[in-house]
Amino acid sequence: MSSNSVLEAFFLGRALAETLSEKTEQALTEALSQLGKFDAEQRENLREFTETVAAKAHEAQASAHSPSAGSPQPESGQDLQAVIDTLRAEIAQTRVALQQYRSS
């Protein structure tokens, strides 16, 4: 084996190592960039969701303090209990439907 071919193999190996290092660095940088974008999107989605929930809660609270003519209001504790029972039944039905959806 000549010293020329040994020298050529050395530089080939060095170029291969440098190229692999550069490609690995690029891939890692891209992956971290995508992770950062995903994190930012999820934080924004969570912020929007939180604002929507807070707005709906505020609207519900405002309508509870000033009922409109079209919304029936319970007149006694028994009627209120019926509304609560109906809401609990609807929540239970929604949970069952959600579980069925998740399992399919």
How many structural domains comprise the chain?
2
41 with 80, same domain?
no
pLDDT band at 30 (very low <50, low <70, confident <90, very high): very high
49 with 100, same domain?
no
53 with 82, same domain?
no
Structural domain of 103? 75-104
55 with 23, same domain?
yes
Residues 69-73, mean pLDDT to the nearest whole number: 51
pLDDT tens, 32-61? 999 999 999 999 999 999 999 999 988 888
7 with 42, same domain?
yes
62 with 82, same domain?
no
The per-residue b/e assignment along 20-42, b for 16 or more CB within 10 angstroms, e otherwise, is eeeeeeeeeeeeeeeeeeeeeee
Contact 50, 58 (CB under 8 A): no
pTM, two decimals, is 0.46
